[in-house]
Amino acid sequence: MRTKLILFKHLKVLIFLLLLHGFTFCNTLFSQILLESGFEGSDPFAGFTNRQSCCTYSVTASTDHPHEGLQSFRSEVRAGDPPVSKGYRAELTTPSIRDTGDMWYGWSMYFETPVSDGYWTGGFGGHFVQWHPANSTGSASLSLWGSDGIWDVATNPEGDGSAVHHAPGKLRIEGNKWHDIVFHVNWSTGIVQFWLNDSLLVNLEGIDYAAGPGQYFKFGMNKWGNGPGPTHDWVIYYDNLKIGRNVTFKDVAPVN
């Protein structure tokens, strides 16, 4: 009888360990970094598609301001650029990634032009990154703007023209320095969180992306100008991009 009791206890421990191992395995299996890029080497845009820019200077790998390594992604829109998809753009897309479920995005940004008195002044009519609705006619479902030189997150789950802007604290964008960005978006449950330099600035729930048209990530700037086209140049650098599903903040956050 005593032997059976000991065997039963051992069996319970074994079952517990197997279940724990299985849970850890499932978490590892379904948690993954989908893309990681420092824009280095001879193929700096591996994993991206570059069809949302007009000119040879629009999307380049630059050694001017790397955050880590030797290169970063230089995104440039000039006054007089021809339109691309009804906007003035220097954007990359990630066609192999489906922006669904619990997603995390992290990268670093450096604002070079235009800057005055240490602050970014190019905020009229444009954003620096967007999740575009999965159609050819809509407006960004989620985007990061620089409205009047202020950090501004815009939510628009319908993908129409009714964006809601969230600019907590109306923080001005400092130029000529690196900023670390993290977005956490659960496209199923409607969570949207935005960290700037390790500080959580936007924390939203119930944004109904599940009922919307779907979305895909566009990395770089889209400027629609303040006239027939851009009236001044924009230059922004991006580095340390990581995109993950079912991961955590520390998995995608840039290294300070």
CATH number at 43 reads 2.60.120.200
Instruction: State the residue range of the domain holding 178.
Output: 33-252
19 plus 71 within the same structural domain: no
Q: Cβ contacts of residue 86 below 8 Å, gap of 6+?
A: none
14 plus 131 within the same structural domain: no
Other beta carbons less than 10 A from residue 157's beta carbon: 23
25 plus 66 within the same structural domain: no
Other beta carbons less than 10 A from residue 136's beta carbon: 8
Local confidence band at 223 (pLDDT 50, 70, 90 cut-offs): confident
64 plus 91 within the same structural domain: yes
137 plus 107 within the same structural domain: yes
- Written as one string, the DSSP assignment of 43-82 is -TTTT-EEEEESSTTTEEEESSS-SSSS-EEEEEE-TTPP
Residue 256 predicted with pLDDT over 80? no
130 plus 200 within the same structural domain: yes
Q: 165-190: per-residue pLDDT in tens?
A: 999 889 999 999 999 999 999 999 99
**Average pLDDT value for the chain:** 87
116 plus 23 within the same structural domain: no
Q: 33-82: per-residue pLDDT in tens?
A: 999 999 999 999 999 999 999 999 999 999 999 999 999 999 999 988 89
- Cα(244)–Cα(32) distance, integer angstroms: 6
Q: Cβ contacts of residue 33 below 8 Å, gap of 6+?
A: 242, 243, 244, 247, 251, 252
pLDDT at 219: 97
95 plus 185 within the same structural domain: yes
pLDDT at 27: 42
The residue among 79, 56, 120 whose CA lies nearest residue 233 is 79
68 plus 8 within the same structural domain: no
22 plus 121 within the same structural domain: no
Terminal alpha carbon distance of the chain = 61
Residue 19 predicted with pLDDT over 60? no
- Structural domain count of the chain: 2
7 plus 90 within the same structural domain: no
232 plus 166 within the same structural domain: yes
